[in-house]
Structure 1
Amino acid sequence: MVDPTVILPSDPLLPRRTDPHFAREAGLIRAAGGRPALLDHDALLAGDVEAAVRRVPAGSGPLWYRGWMIPVARYAALAEALADRGCILLTGSGEYATAHELPGWYRTFEPVTPASSWLPGRSWDRSALAAAASALGGRGPAIVKDYVKSRKHEWHEACYVPELADLDAVERVAARFAELQGEFLAGGLVLRRFEDFARTADGRAEEARVWWLDGEPVLIGPHPDYPLSRVEPDLSAVRPLVRELGCRFVTTDLARPAAGTGDHDGGAEGGWRVVEVGDGQVSELPSGVDAEVLFRALVGAAQAAQA
């Protein structure tokens, strides 16, 4: 039996070394009894899959990836190249697509997440945008994003639409979003009903990121954008949906509606909402979080899969 393996990105400048951003995770993998292996993420994105996996030891068996986001098609190519080396990703390419892109997980989480509609591709005419807005009721505020990410740091320019009935504004924000995303636009365009979430007195969002392995919450911490937030979300409505989704390793970002914004979930006002779902392999760990328990669980799952 080989040591359980977790693949991490290599340093683009020193390819025999772990990318410094993931050096802490390499230490946690070793401390949990696993071994890190290196993936050339730049080569993978460039389409040279064989070069990308060259430093992953052949015959490593079942393993995880932890690192930078990978487009769905490139992840499928990665899974195939690893399988040819006797290495099986514990998150298959279908599971990765389901958790990583909003159309894959939205229907499962629809009762507890903002209403959404989407358009595939990289460009959308006015009639298509009007239909997507109409699917959300055609009125009220919304945000624009792609299947994976928003540009919330360009909030008014490329993210927030104050009124869906204003199709000029929808077109303008969508076009600017697509321009800024460029080649990194993932899947297509999403219109997502804007919901106002609770904030602390100093303006920090009360948002938590929950890491799930095989349907159980392994680690609960703040969202990486708000690392000082400390919230304890109610998982009772989310847990059965994570299990229904059927993906082994996922994250959910959860937030509470702001006071007075109404009942979204069919229960008491203030019920926790799912802001995003993600594949756990490419979800960012917030700084300062003790992730030892997470990596013990991942290494343990890889070890169990060898049996």
Structure 2
Amino acid sequence: MAFAKVQLDMEEKKAERQGFLSWVKLRPYAMIFPAILIFCLFFIYPIGYMIYLSFHDWNFVSPVKDFVGTSNFSYLLSDRDFREVISNSFIYTFFTVFLTISLSLLLALWLNRGGAVYSFMQASIFSPHIISLVSVSMLWMWIMDADYGLLNWFLNLIGMESVMWLTSPDYALTSLILVAVWKGIGFNTLVFIAGLQSIPKDLYEAAELDHTPPWRRFLKITVPMLSPTLFFLTIIGVINSFQVFETINLMTAGGPINSTNTFVYYIYQYGFQFFKIGYASAAGVILLVILSVLTVVYFKVLSKRVHYR
């Protein structure tokens, strides 16, 4: 009896130990489960449902969703307006990202110094980033007004003719790019300054001892050491530029003559103005594919050129 009781106690302790070890193994998964649940609920499920809707015809009101196969994609790819939307999106993204990165890097090189004046300049340049896009759009609509805007007033002051910034197909997309660059340049500048300040000073001191010219120091030291920052800002800039909506919605509404219509606004038009949910979802799937391909290619091509210390 005593032996059986001891054996029973040992088995109970073993079971308790195994239960404790099982809980220890499951505890990390239990802790990340809420985050995984939120991610699946608000990211994975909407993407899956968008793909499902892209194969259907639905007006957002009727409970019936008619399966149409790949018809939505066929109509999209044969639509001249949609091809113009793709062209506008790529042009807007390329020039916005290129100009923002280039000007931000130049400003960061200039402002990467101590002193109250440079600190004030950094704060001034960063301030547009914290202003909402709605306020920025309203401000620039007034500045670019064809009759009373400050830009045309300045052009007239130096003897040039007024420009139809937001109402001419030749200038409307350029105007939106200008607004995007003005809005994003402050954030990128501060990130570049942080990157510049993390570069070891002894690298520049060694280059000075070798009498290396400034342009060579920039190409051989600054750019390689800033490559992680460049990599991050470029990929974020591409994704944000492809998803632009507020400025287009408020300033041009996709016009004139579809010259400023981009992906997200096109999806908004067909989804919430024309109630062609399946068609809009198909455009969303194409946008998802384009961003995924660009991201994968960007990582494959440029990730090996990024120098992490």
> What's the TM-score once normalised by structure 2's chain length?
0.20
**Higher Rg:** 2
> What's the TM-score once normalised by structure 1's chain length?
0.20
| Higher strand proportion | 1
Which is bigger in relative contact order (C-alpha 8 A, separation at least 6)? 2
